[in-house]
Amino acid sequence: MAFVSTALNFTAHPRLLKYQIYPSASSKVLLLSSAPAFLIADRRRRWIVAEASPTRDEEVVVVEKKGVGEWGKVSAVLFDMDGVLCNSEGAAGMAAVDVFAEIGVEVEAEDFMPFVGTGDANFLGSVARLKGVEEFDTATAKKRFYEIYINKYAKPNSGIGFPGALELVMECKRRGLKVAVASSADRVKVNANLAAAGFDPSIFDAIVPADGLKRLKPAPDIFLKASKDLNAPAHECIVIEDAFAGVQAAKAAGMRCIAVMTSLSEDKVKQANPSLIRKEIGDISIQDILNDEEIKEEKPSKYLCNGVRSGVSKLPNGR
C-alpha cells in the first residue's frame, strides 16, 4: 500500500533543512508511530525528529531533496599540511628522534604521535617532559628539528606529497573554491614541505603557518585566520585534517571537517567526531567536499536512526 509523498519546508528558518518522504523497498527505517512521518535536522545534525506514516508495514525512508542539503554552501577548503597534503608525519617523528639522540635521550617516533598537529614546540616539549628531560630548551630544539627535518627528510621534490593531493587542490580551484594551507608548523617547514611535495605555493590563495599565532590547534585560531585571509565565512569553509587536535580546532572554528586516517586509527578519528572520514586525501572526492546533489545520487539519510519519537512541540532552544 503506497502513500503520498509529503514535503515539509522549513527553509525560512536558517538552521533547518527541507526533507521529503518517499516510500522505498530498500534502506527502510522502522518507525513506531501512526502520525505523519517527517524529519527535521539542524545544519550540524544535532537534532533529529521523526514521526511515522501509516503504511501496510509501517516503514518509510527519508531522502534529502535535490538542491537542498544539510551540508550547506562551501566557499573554501583549508588543507592541513603534515599528514594531509604531505606524507610527512613519520619523517617528522624520525627527525625528532634524531634531535633527542643528540642530547643523549632515547625516544621512539611513536612517542610523538599524541602531539601531532599541536605545533612543533609542543610536539618536542611534551615528549621532553614525559621523559623527564631537565632544562630542555624548546626553541633551540625546534630550530635543530627543522634543520634535520629539512636537510635529511624533506629535500625538494623528494616525493612526499600524498597521491591525489595536488589533483584535489586543483579540482577545488576549478570549481571556484578558494584553497589554503593551514598548518601548526612554522613557515620554514611549510615552505620545505611544499617544495618536497612538488607544490607551487602560488596555487594556494592563502598559506597560514604557526608563526605569530599565540594559540595553536586545538584552538581555532589558525583556521579562523585562514578564513579571514580568504574572505570566506567560517561556516562556508571545509577543513581537511589528520590530527585529533586539528579536528577539534576545525569544530571550534565552526567549520565542517573531513578527517583522514593517516596519523590516527579509525577509532581515534571517530572519537574526534569529524563530519566525514576518509582513509587519505586521495580518497576524498569533490562530491565529498561539495555534497553536490547534481553530482551525487540521492540516498536515504543515514542520520534517521536513534530516538525516534512522535510528537513535536517546539524547536531546539525553545524556538
Say how far apart CA 260 and CA 298 lie, in whole Å: 24
> Which of 34-38, 119-123, 187-191, 215-219 shows the lowest per-residue confidence on average (mean pLDDT)?
34-38
Say how far apart CA 234 and CA 288 lie, in whole Å: 18
pLDDT 10s digits, 102-111: 999 999 999 9
pLDDT at residue 204 in the model: 98
Question: How many Cβ atoms are within 10 Å of 58's Cβ, its own excluded?
Answer: 15
pLDDT at residue 173 in the model: 98
The chain-wide mean pLDDT, for the chain, equals 77
- For 65, half-sphere exposure in the C-beta direction (CA atoms, 13 angstrom radius) is 17
User: Average pLDDT for residues 1-28, to the nearest whole number?
Assistant: 35
Looking at the predicted structure, is the pLDDT value of residue 5 above 70? no
* Residue 30: all three cell numbers together: 522502522
pLDDT 10s digits, 266-299: 999 999 999 999 999 999 999 999 987 555 443 3
- More reliable by pLDDT, 264 or 64: 264
pLDDT 10s digits, 115-133: 998 989 999 999 999 999 9
User: Average pLDDT for residues 256-260, to the nearest whole number?
Assistant: 97
The alpha carbon dihedral of 226, 233, 77, 79 has a sign of: positive
DSSP string across 89-157 = HHHHHHHHHHHHHHTT----GGGGGGGTTS-HHHHHHHHHHHTT-TT--HHHHHHHHHHHIIIII--TT
> Which of 21-30, 186-195, 228-237 shows the lowest per-residue confidence on average (mean pLDDT)?
21-30
80 catalytic? Reply is yes
Q: Is 78:180 a contact under the CB 8 Å cutoff?
A: yes
Look at strands 38-41 and 276-278 and give their pairing: unpaired
- The model carries a pTM of 0.69
pLDDT at residue 12 in the model: 36
Express as a percent the part of the chain with pLDDT over 70.
70
Looking at the predicted structure, is the pLDDT value of residue 65 above 80? no
- Identified catalytic residue from 80, 120, 205, 221: 80
pLDDT at residue 294 in the model: 58
- Identified catalytic residue from 82, 186, 205, 242: 82
